[in-house]
Structure formats: structure tokens, C-alpha cells
Structure 1
């Protein structure tokens, strides 16, 4: 038989880690753990799943602790030596980050906007409210359906639109927006913005944000873990897709759309407006990962199937967010 060398045991530990960190696919890293018990222990002991997860989604760098709760088994903290407990913690972290990375790179889902929260301004509320951006119809009750900002004499004045997503952890790849063409005005003006920017994050504390309120009441109550570059917007009546440079993990489930600058002045009052067409966000392309899950696995000691709940607690320096069980 041809001689083979186990490079993990043969090479310097730092060199072995450099080789394994070249893997950029979670499936490949998990296959490494199946080669042998030694390799599995090496991957877990060096936190390679966590390192890969942080490279894929830098927003996770704020996670300082992972909690995994099992029902039907004893808490590892209750039994065993300190070395055993430390190894249990490493295994728990490995499973959690492997599960998180797998969930964040699978299950493509569209239409992930749960509900509109508020806009920085609305010209005629509720007829021209932010709710219309998710309305699939162009005309509602014999009236054109769209969102309109208040008019402003300053073309540089920005506008904000705040949305709640379906999940608390979502991977966003692109967002599509369509400016509204006022077909009922002379010249068919298109009220687009000059540029658009996206922020993603979570509230500083659990708050119930009522619909229809101004964003100014809540702009200091959120922490934005990601801010995109500015994307120029064309003054055209079409769905415009803005693809992010890389998939972004939204922690907290809130999306803020910043509309930077105005290009269209309304003839009747001489003010600049921004209007959005219905279903502007209806075609957003997302990947979603539901944090909590229920899996069945074989209990080797009792040889019975027991429920295995994984709960990730994302603990920040100022707050704790724990998902509910499914």
C-alpha cells in the first residue's frame, strides 16, 4: 500500500491551520471532520467553523457567546471535570456555527419583507403611505398606489424607509426598487432619488414601533450593524436591482433604505419629491436562516430519539436576543 502522511500530525500546528483555513466552503470543512477522529478534534479545538463563519459574515464578530439548549439530557455544566466542560463548550460552538453557516448559505427565499414600519415623511397619509410599496396593485380604490415623500425645496434632503424582515437573522444579497412615474401629470415625470443606501440592524431595546409614525421618532433607537455603499439610481420607470458586493447577514431583522438626493421637481408647487411605485420591494432577493430549529438525532446512550433544540443567544454588550422555539 502506498505510504500516506497525516499532515495535521506531521506539520507545525500553525501551518496545518493555514492549510485548513484555505477552505471557503462549509461542506468541505465538515468533510474534513469526517476523515478521522483526530481531524475532527483538530477542527473543533481550533474553532475553524467559527473562523469560516466570521470570514463569510463579519457582522457576527459582535457575537460573544453561543447558547445551545438540549431537552431530555443533562446539562454538561452539571457533570464532569473542567477539561470535559471546556471540550463540551468547544463542541457546542462548533455545532452552532456550522449550523449557522449552513443555514445562511441555503434556502433561497424571496419577498422577505414582513411589514413596513415607517417613513421619514409622507405627503398625504395614509393615501400615499409606505404601505403602498408592498401593494401588488398599481391602482387601489380607483386611485394610483404609491409612496410619496413630502415636498422639499432642497434637492439634497434625504428620505428614509424602515422595514421589518421575516426573520431576525437574514442573509441579504440584493434589493430591488422602482421609482414611480406620475402618469397622471404632464410630461410623465419620474420621482426617483439620486442614490440609495441600505442599512441593516436591530433596535437598541425591544420596542413596538407603531405603523405610520415618522422615522425621526426612532432614528436614535437602532443599531446598524451594516451600511452599504451608495448606489446611483436611474431616473427610469423600471425595477432597479442593487446587488450588494457580498451577502450580508442582517442581525435583528430591520432594513433601512436611505434615499439620497432628489431629481424631480413638481410643477404645481416647485418642490422636489421622491415617489416609489407599488411592489418596489416585492421582488427583493434574500437568503433567510431561521435561527431556531428542531432536529431529531440518535441518543447513543439510551438508543432512543429525543428532540434536540438549538437556540442561539446573540449576546451584545448592551442587550440579549434569543429566538423563540419553533
Structure 2
């Protein structure tokens, strides 16, 4: 082969395409498109960056078209290239999908919940609100912090918790849940679910002003789901349980719903089954502000918008730390003291919402090293 000969000109187009499509790193596609004009033309005309994004995230199959910032820098005119609309669309898609693929893999991991939206039911609102699940501790001051469902005679009745994420486009990698252990009830029961499942999507435009936490409901008529996960078994254990998705998922629309399937714990006081959650964490990569979406209803397609080509910086998400042995022993000691004081009857009477000392301020915070049991 002569020095400097382009091997693309020596291979059949299908073989060249197969070679280039074997690349799975978006940086490699960007590099090969910079080798020569012919290589760049090959990458763009065959939509290799878009194809890579679709392989990584099948949810992008609903992209209707892409937009980019006004005045985005375009490459120099290529010899013999067409100036047709199709060529301009291919160039634009190449830039947008190349940056999207890089962002989906390289933007910093972070906590992705923005706020709690709605729970399918709440036992005592607002004391046992879904908002409490955003607090990593199971107690704030002297008050327990958790969400509780309403009680049910049938343990098969499911519940849902729905959250707004920090961006309309997020790549979600894992969800962490901690069931609540009622340390103020006899036997320290743990009100977990049997299993969990996750759904991602967006709010219907007609419901955006109606969905809020005080409005109870499953949300099936308020949201459109673009992804539903497999079912994950949940342990009846007082710890932050990690549910890692088999593959990262692109959440289009910024809504995540947790389905809590099946009940395992009956409350002695009323004989009903409950599900209680102490903390929820969603870990992933937020693709805003560089990217946005416009949902095209009722087609369920969307416009992918590149709002800028600057990469945001975000701190890496730390691994969640489980409760220390000291914290667990202090909690047990506190329960023993309550029993010695004769507070067992009160514990059962007040149930989930029991406040250890109503006369003391809830603003008093616990120290990590222990709690005040006087």
C-alpha cells in the first residue's frame, strides 16, 4: 500500500462501516473524524455518533430532531460537499450527538433528586410526608423522619413514590433506598417492601400545574413512562440498600417513580400492613444546563436541544456510609431507657408518629457521636 493511502478507499463501504461501528467510546469517533476530510465525511454521512448514542440509550429512538445554539461554530466547507438541507442536518446531528455521548459518560456523578412530588398514599400528612425521604437521617432532632403509606389489610397492595430530578435529561445509574425501622415500637419492626421497580418519564403537559405532593394518587394518568426497570428484591433490613441498574438509563423528562411492591410487616396496633421509607437517593449524571428537551405531545417524541457546548463541573458522588455500630448501640440504649421509664405503652399508643419529647424543640440536632437520653 502506498504511503498516505486512505484505507477507506480500498475497502467496501459496508466493511468500513462495520469497523467504525465497533468503536464504543465517543472520543474515538471524534478523533477519527479529525483524521481527514474523507473520514469526517464518512462519520457524519453515516450518523455514527447518533448510532452510538442509540446503542447506549435506546430511549433516544424517540428523538424527532435536534437543535443547537444559534451561531454554533460549524466546520469549514468541504471540497465537493453538498450545501443541501440534508447535509446541514447531518452536520448538526453529528455535533449534538457527539457531545451528548461524551456527556453521558463523562459528566460528574451526583445526587439527582430535585424534590419530592407525590406519594400514592400517606398515613399522617404532613408528618409522614414523602418529603422526609430526602433527609438521609431517620431522625431530625427528637422526631422520626420517614414516609409511611396508609395501612392495608391486603399485603399485595403496592405504593409509589414520585420525584422530580435535577434536570430534564439525566443518566441514572443506581437508586438507593432505606426502609424505616420503627425504633419506638416493640420488636423494632422494619416496614420494607418485598421488591421495588423503577419508572422514568415526564409529566403530561395538561397535568403540570396539578401535580403536587398534597394530591395523592398513583400518577398513572399524570405521567408518561419511557422506561420501566426489572423488579429488584428488597431486604427487610435497616440499611441503605443499593439497586444498580443493569445499564445506565437516560431519563427523558426528569421524573422518576419508585414502585414498592408487596408488604412484609404488619403493625401490632391495628393489624394492618404498612410500607415506610426513611431515605431515597438517586445517583446519575445531570445533562443540564448543556442539554434540554421539548416534548412533542401527543406523539411522545421530543426535540433534543444542545443549549451550549461547555461541559459542566460537578463533584463525584460519594459512596453512602452505613450506620455505624456506635449509632446502632446508642439507638438501642435509648430504647432501653424508654422501657425502664415505663414509656412502652406510649410507644405503642402513638405508633409511627411518636415524638419522644413534645416539649423539647425539634430544632435540637443530634451529634454523630451519640444522642441525649436524659
Q: TM-score range by the shorter chain?
A: 0.7 to 0.9
Alignment of 1:34-45 (within 5 A): 34-45=34-45
Q: Name 1:264's counterpart in structure 2.
A: 265
The range that moved more, 109-118 or 202-211, is 202-211
1:73 Cα deviation (Å)? 8.9
Q: Unaligned stretches of 5+ in structure 2?
A: 75-80, 309-374
Structure 1, residues 43-97: CA drift from partner, whole Å, max 9, x if none? 00100000000000000000021122414999xxxxxx97433211110010011
Sort the Cα spacing of 1:245 and 1:122 in 2 relative to 1 into closer, same or farther, 3 A. Answer: same
Alignment of 1:273-312 (within 5 A): 273-277=274-278, 280-282=279-281, 284-290=282-288, 292=290
Q: Name 1:246's counterpart in structure 2.
A: 247
Alignment of 1:69-80 (within 5 A): 69-71=69-71
1:99 Cα deviation (Å)? 1.2
Does the Cα contact within 8 Å between 1:202 and 1:224 map onto a contact in 2?
yes
Alignment of 1:130-279 (within 5 A): 130-140=130-140, 142-205=142-205, 207-208=208-209, 209-216=211-218, 218-277=219-278
Does the Cα contact within 8 Å between 1:63 and 1:315 map onto a contact in 2?
no
Question: How many aligned residue pairs are there?
Answer: 299
Structure 1, residues 32-51: CA drift from partner, whole Å, max 9, x if none? 10111110010001000000
The range that moved more, 257-266 or 312-321, is 312-321
TM-score under structure 2 normalisation? 0.74
Does the Cα contact within 8 Å between 2:193 and 2:261 map onto a contact in 1?
yes
Q: Name 1:77's counterpart in structure 2.
A: none
Bigger Cα Rg? 2
The range that moved more, 316-325 or 127-136, is 316-325
Does the Cα contact within 8 Å between 1:159 and 1:259 map onto a contact in 2?
yes
> 2 CA distance for matches of 1:36 and 1:322?
28
Question: What's the RMSD between the two structures over aligned residues?
Answer: 2.5
Q: Name 2:56's counterpart in structure 1.
A: 56
Does the Cα contact within 8 Å between 2:147 and 2:277 map onto a contact in 1?
yes
> 2 CA distance for matches of 1:314 and 1:14?
35
1:325 Cα deviation (Å)? 5.8
Structure 1, residues 143-182: CA drift from partner, whole Å, max 9, x if none? 2111000000111110000000000000000000001111
Q: Unaligned stretches of 5+ in structure 1?
A: 75-80, 294-310
Q: Name 2:104's counterpart in structure 1.
A: 104
Does the Cα contact within 8 Å between 1:197 and 1:231 map onto a contact in 2?
yes
1:221 Cα deviation (Å)? 2.0
1:213 Cα deviation (Å)? 1.4
1:5 Cα deviation (Å)? 4.6
> 2 CA distance for matches of 1:273 and 1:312?
38
Sort the Cα spacing of 1:30 and 1:112 in 2 relative to 1 into closer, same or farther, 3 A. Answer: same
Does the Cα contact within 8 Å between 2:66 and 2:93 map onto a contact in 1?
yes
TM-score under structure 1 normalisation? 0.85
Does the Cα contact within 8 Å between 1:100 and 1:291 map onto a contact in 2?
no
1:245 Cα deviation (Å)? 0.3
Sort the Cα spacing of 1:65 and 1:246 in 2 relative to 1 into closer, same or farther, 3 A. Answer: same
Q: Name 2:120's counterpart in structure 1.
A: 120
| SS of residue matched to 1:14 | helix
1:324 Cα deviation (Å)? 10
Structure 1, residues 205-252: CA drift from partner, whole Å, max 9, x if none? 261322221134x32121111100000000000010000000000000
